[in-house]
């Protein structure tokens, strides 16, 4: 088979399409978006999957908020644990005097 023969050209084209099909099969198997022959993406997530994504996103935002509040509380506790006792007592007395 010579480099310019029709069989060689057809073999190259067949290998290219085979690679494209294999690539899309692997992507579909692992849940990635599929590509068409022009490089466009197709989203295979239906309404149920979109709803799950929205629920997980809202839960993620809620958990991030909780983590932020816990980090703030931890900073206060660390400051109380590491500050000298007289300074903490003075701050408590100042707060009592305000009320």
What are 64-96's pLDDT values in tens digits? 999 999 999 999 888 888 878 788 788 888 999
- Domains of the chain, by residue range, sit at 1-44, 46-99
Q: What does pTM read for this prediction?
A: 0.43
Q: Which structure tokens are listed for 77?
A: 């506790």
For residue 2, name the pLDDT band (cuts at 50, 70, 90). confident
How many residues appear in the chain?
Answer: 99
Give the Cα separation of 90 and 93 in Å (integer). Answer: 5
Give the Cα separation of 27 and 43 in Å (integer). Answer: 12
Around 74, how many Cα atoms within 13 Å sit in the side-chain half-sphere?
Answer: 6
Give the Cα separation of 17 and 13 in Å (integer). Answer: 6
State which H helix or E strand residue 41 sits in: strand 41-42
Judged against a pLDDT cut of 80, whether residue 97 lies above it is answered with: yes
């Amino acid at each position: 088979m010579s480099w310019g023969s029709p069989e060689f050209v057809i073999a190259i084209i067949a290998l290219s399409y085979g690679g494209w099909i294999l690539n899309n099969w692997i992507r579909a198997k692992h849940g990635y978006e599929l590509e068409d022959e022009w490089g466009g993406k197709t989203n295979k997530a239906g309404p149920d999957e979109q709803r799950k994504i929205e629920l997980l996103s809202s839960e993620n935002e809620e958990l991030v908020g909780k983590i932020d509040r816990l980090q703030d509380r931890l900073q206060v506790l660390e400051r109380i644990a590491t500050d000298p006792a007289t300074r903490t007592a003075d701050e408590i007395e100042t707060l009592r005097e305000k009320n």
